[in-house]
Chain A
Amino acid sequence: ETGVTQTPRHLVMGMTNKKSLKCEQHLGHNAMYWYKQSAKKPLELMFVYNFKEQTENNSVPSRFSPECPNSSHLFLHLHTLQPEDSALYLCASSRRDRGATNEKLFFGSGTQLSVL
């Protein structure tokens, strides 16, 4: 148990559906992240939130919409996805101090998403 909980663990959706992924951390961290993991590819950083403010958006298509209502919760809202969006979506959190560069990430177990 890493202290980062993701739901659901598995999700199958059609291209016209709207769904949301949820992430919750119980570690008192102030930064939260969404990563995408596709087969044979490096982990791709999608979004970073620091103290609820989005600090990074790595050219992610608008069909992925993040929401961070507080430092403990992170959502990824999905709509009109494509089959190539099928992947493992991982949430992570860290304690990001100002100027800190030695933070380590704590990951959830991920949501395995299949888009039909």
Chain B
Amino acid sequence: SQQGEEDPQALSIQEGENATMNCSYKTSINNLQWYRQNSGRGLVHLILIRSNEREKHSGRLRVTLDTSKKSSSLLITASRAADTASYFCATVGGYSTLTFGKGTMLLVSP
């Protein structure tokens, strides 16, 4: 399975701090995506990084991809209470559909 696995399972930080979440996967991929989910709601796409890219930025988000280690990280800088949510990585290999990990639950305290 190419399912991503996020680490840590839960992360608690103060507003203004940076939050880093990691994702590891098992097989080769075409791209890796990060999604966010507020409690009891649907997932929202945050950012996509292709297998030939090493780093990507979007606002306060920074994603890295290391295909040799089969891992990715999501960094949220200057976190806010509104960033409190679960974050999922999802991988795509070949023509298959996205497969998701269990997610990292982020709590940002004011």
Contacts and interface: CB of A to CB of B under 8 A. Distances in A.
A90 B38 CA distance: 13
A102 B92 CA distance: 8
B102 interface: yes
Interface in B1-59: 3, 30-31, 33, 35, 40-45, 48, 50
Interface of A: 2, 4, 6, 33, 40-43, 45, 48, 56, 88, 90, 92, 99, 101-110, 112
A48 B97 CA distance: 8
Contacts of B101: 42
Given A40-B102, A42-B101, A101 B40 contact: no
Interface of B: 3, 30-31, 33, 35, 40-45, 48, 50, 88, 92, 94-95, 97-103
A50 to B, nearest CB: 10
B94 A101 contact: yes
B42 A108 contact: yes
A41 B48 contact: no
Contacts, number: 56
A90 B43 contact: yes
Given A42-B99, A45-B98, A103-B92, 12 more contacts: A42-B102, A42-B103, A43-B43, A45-B97, A90-B43, A101-B95, A102-B31, A102-B92, A104-B45, A106-B45, A107-B44, A108-B42
A21 to B, nearest CB: 13
Nearest to B45: A104
Contacts of A42: 3, 99-103
B50 to A, nearest CB: 7
Nearest to A33: B97
Contacts of A103: 92
A4 B45 CA distance: 13
Given A4-B42, A88-B40, A109-B41, A56 B97 contact: yes
